[in-house]
Structure 1
Amino acid sequence: MARAADLAGAAHLMLVDGVSYLDPEPAVFEAMLEGWTKQQRSRFLNWDGTIKPRLSLVRRFAEFTNQYPWQWQPAEVEAFIDHLRAKTPTFTVSSGRGYQNHLRLFCEYITDARYGWMNVCQERFGQVPVQILHEWNTVTHVSEYEGDPSRRPLTYDEIQALFDAADGRVEEIRKRGRKGALAAMRDSALLKSYYAYGMRRRESVHLDVADLRRNPKAPQYGRHGAVFVRYGKSSKGSPPKRRTVFTVPEMDWIVDVLDHYLTEVRPRFGAGKHPAIWVTERSGRLSRRSANEAFDAARKAADLPEELKLHCLRHSYITHLVEFDYPERFVQDQAGHVYASTTAIYTGVSDEYRNRLLQRKLTHRYPGIWEDPK
């Protein structure tokens, strides 16, 4: 058989020529995983976010089947997905598709003749790996949005109730003479900033004080005219995306909130020269988990539905910008979405807003006949 090309991850580069392994099956399997790792690294894919989870999944699948890749057949992957669905009630369609895609990619790698793994397996084991995932046994993508339906925008009343509850926690802690009032003040400002700028968790917790920007077109906001996001959601193989999120007039109350937090609250954490905006009692950067806990505590205090999560504030921001009649492109840029269709998925405008639009159109179409009811 022809020798494989000298590509990153090629079999002849992973296995030592002329060496007879005492236990060849696991040795070849580990060499495959090492080769796949090199192949992905050569594409500048992220280790923690992409490569490591993929390797872990392949190992889990191999353990489930008690077989090696050159023995796998479509029936094994079908049984694996069925097992995960039965074992984990929260196993979603999108999760299933992700697992299938990762296993498909691994099979594509070991069945690609350029990497030489089929030659190795044929010579050593008398079997060759095959692609086990096809159109007929994988999840079909029929909907634009398959996420959790509980991720909905909050109503204006729910937003107000959430913020009132977050502020109320500060007074409640003080009255009880307990520790934590300072952290509660930080959490209140944090949740308000999440909504006022529509950021993702990672984007917000990685904000530094230096990321606060002035907007020459809105000098009245001082250093809070915009926020420079440096850790936006990245595409696979690319660094985090960057964008500037402007402070909008309808949410300019955030200027006073941030100013109070930065001048009165944050210094009391003893952060010193730490660059982060959101800091902990131990003068470190706040974690995404702590941000989730801040939302959950306020949501519970406000007696809002349990299924609501922190990301709902981002949905709320995008929806409310639309309801404030900002152009679609502006909303898309503020949110950091590459495609307008993604922004549309986040949008869930209220019946009141749609009725206002309908009323406006009817009044314009039938002037003097149809009047706005007061």
Structure 2
Amino acid sequence: MDPNTGGATALRLLGNVRALDEKQFVYEAMLTGWSDQQSSRGLATPTIRNRILAIRRFESFTERYPWEWAPVDVEDYTTRAKSKARPAAKSTIRAFQTIIRLFCDYLCDGRYEWARECERRFASAPQQICHVWNTTAHLVDYEGRAQRRALTYDELEQFFTAADARVESILAQGRKGALAALRDAQIFKTIYAYGLRRAEAVGLDVADLRPNGAAPRFGRFGAVEARWGKGTRGSGPRRRSVLTVPELGWVTEGLAQWVDQARPRCTDEPTGKLWPTERGSRVSLRYIDLRFATIRDQLGLPSELSVHALRHTYVTNLIEWGYSEKFVQDQVGHAYASTTAIYTSVGDDYKTRMVTRALSRIYGGNDAHNR
């Protein structure tokens, strides 16, 4: 084959190379070519790496190379994923099938000449093995567990009270760990007060706490710069500014106490990590999950509640307090308003007030002045 022709075959399968294991050589060249193609599209390195690992897992499962794959391989792999002790979520299965589809699209694209090269070498060409009849369709906006929800006002108050009480308990007993407990409590309050994802909270630096000229009463803590927002299509983190809202202005007192008094006892760096550990590293996502679960279980709250429930609660509360959907969408960094709607589960008190106001508006009554 002429090495001057276009496509990944010309770039990776040089005519003067004789591989000891030709099939493995071609397979590795396919993965390298696909990796380069995705990199050229601007996809983030972690996204590319995870996709390559997914393809390797699938190849290991089938024990065959891509030009030998058939649609039944996708069906067998999906069936196994669903029959495990902990079945894979529908969204996980769809994501994997999408990766397989993209890889097969790349191999079958005539501009890269993989089909012709495999036919010449192995008398078999790659085919698209994912089709409408053997892949999971996206039929509804939300496919998460129905049990997941926002915390009620009582649950939220109980949780923060328990987090604060842990600090007092450790101090009263003269044990170590009060500083870490204070940090943990403030992390949870910050996640809720700004509707942050776990990774966004963990990635905060002191410099990410910003003033808001339109709200000078909050001083240095008028906004939080979330630099590790969830990206789309492998684009990498997205950043946004989250404003402090008046209803949650109480969080600024805790932040000031942590930044000015407690944090300097963990590190000598005036800037840098907002939540350093005793060893100077950032707290981990797993640590936050475990600490949340400990307090949740101590209170006897439902086990399906996770740290992410604090973000759900933030969205729900902003809607209940009358903030516009566009404002809430911008605050939490959702690309689409429909995603924000999924997070919203207004409480009975809010719905009761809305119905009462509607009745007063139509029929008149004592609540008419609240229109």
Interval containing the TM-score (normalised by the shorter chain): over 0.9
Structure-to-structure mapping, 1:122-137, within 5 angstroms: 122-137=119-134
State the shift of 1:150 in Å. Answer: 3.3
Name the structure 2 match of 1:28. 26
Rounded to whole Å, the distance in 2 between the matches of 1:79 and 1:307 is: 30
Structure-to-structure mapping, 1:254-269, within 5 angstroms: 254-269=251-266
Q: Which of 66, 78, 83 in structure 2 is aligned with 1:81?
A: 78
* Local SS of the residue matching 1:145: coil
Rounded to whole Å, the distance in 2 between the matches of 1:333 and 1:80 is: 39
**Contact (CA 8 Å) 2:151, 2:310: kept in 1 or not?**
yes
Rounded to whole Å, the distance in 1 between the matches of 2:206 and 2:212 is: 16
Give the TM-score normalised by the residue count of structure 2: 0.95
**Contact (CA 8 Å) 1:215, 1:225: kept in 2 or not?**
yes
Rounded to whole Å, the distance in 2 between the matches of 1:88 and 1:128 is: 36
Name the structure 1 match of 2:269. 272
Rounded to whole Å, the distance in 1 between the matches of 2:261 and 2:298 is: 25
Structure 1 residues 44-76: Cα deviation after superposition (integer angstroms, max 9, x where no partner): 21122x111111111111111111111111011
Structure 1 residues 188-236: Cα deviation after superposition (integer angstroms, max 9, x where no partner): 1110111000001111111111111111222111111111122211122
| Identical-pair percentage | 47
Of 67-76 and 14-23, deviating more is 14-23
Tell me, yes or no, if structure 1 residue 98 matches structure 2 residue 95: yes
**Contact (CA 8 Å) 1:151, 1:311: kept in 2 or not?**
no
Q: Which of 190, 195, 199 in structure 1 is aligned with 2:196?
A: 199
CA, structure 1 residues 368+167, in 2 after alignment: closer, same or farther (shift >3 Å)?
closer
* Local SS of the residue matching 1:136: coil
CA, structure 1 residues 143+2, in 2 after alignment: closer, same or farther (shift >3 Å)?
farther
Listed as ranges, the gaps of 5+ residues in structure 1 are none
Rounded to whole Å, the distance in 1 between the matches of 2:365 and 2:314 is: 36
**Contact (CA 8 Å) 1:221, 1:255: kept in 2 or not?**
yes
**Contact (CA 8 Å) 1:194, 1:314: kept in 2 or not?**
yes
Rounded to whole Å, the distance in 2 between the matches of 1:231 and 1:271 is: 24
Name the structure 2 match of 1:215. 212
Rounded to whole Å, the distance in 1 between the matches of 2:93 and 2:222 is: 42
Tell me, yes or no, if structure 1 residue 43 matches structure 2 residue 37: no
State the shift of 1:35 in Å. Answer: 0.8
Structure-to-structure mapping, 1:1-374, within 5 angstroms: 6-7=6-7, 10-48=8-46, 50-368=47-365
Rounded to whole Å, the distance in 1 between the matches of 2:63 and 2:250 is: 59
Structure 1 residues 277-327: Cα deviation after superposition (integer angstroms, max 9, x where no partner): 111111222222222223122212222111111000000000000000111
2:93 partner letter: G
Give the TM-score normalised by the residue count of structure 1: 0.94
Structure 1 residues 94-131: Cα deviation after superposition (integer angstroms, max 9, x where no partner): 00100100011111111111101101110000010100
Aligned-CA RMSD value: 2.0
Of 286-295 and 37-46, deviating more is 286-295
**Contact (CA 8 Å) 2:81, 2:87: kept in 1 or not?**
no
Structure 1 residues 243-298: Cα deviation after superposition (integer angstroms, max 9, x where no partner): 11111111111011111111121111124245111111112222222222231222
* Local SS of the residue matching 1:137: coil
Instruction: Give the aligned length.
Output: 370
Listed as ranges, the gaps of 5+ residues in structure 2 are none
State the shift of 1:342 in Å. Answer: 0.6
Rounded to whole Å, the distance in 2 between the matches of 1:174 and 1:53 is: 44
* Local SS of the residue matching 2:83: helix
State the shift of 1:354 in Å. Answer: 0.9
State the shift of 1:40 in Å. Answer: 0.9
* Local SS of the residue matching 1:185: helix
Rounded to whole Å, the distance in 1 between the matches of 2:353 and 2:138 is: 35
CA, structure 1 residues 110+184, in 2 after alignment: closer, same or farther (shift >3 Å)?
same
**Contact (CA 8 Å) 1:231, 1:242: kept in 2 or not?**
yes
Rounded to whole Å, the distance in 2 between the matches of 1:178 and 1:73 is: 62
Rounded to whole Å, the distance in 1 between the matches of 2:155 and 2:40 is: 48
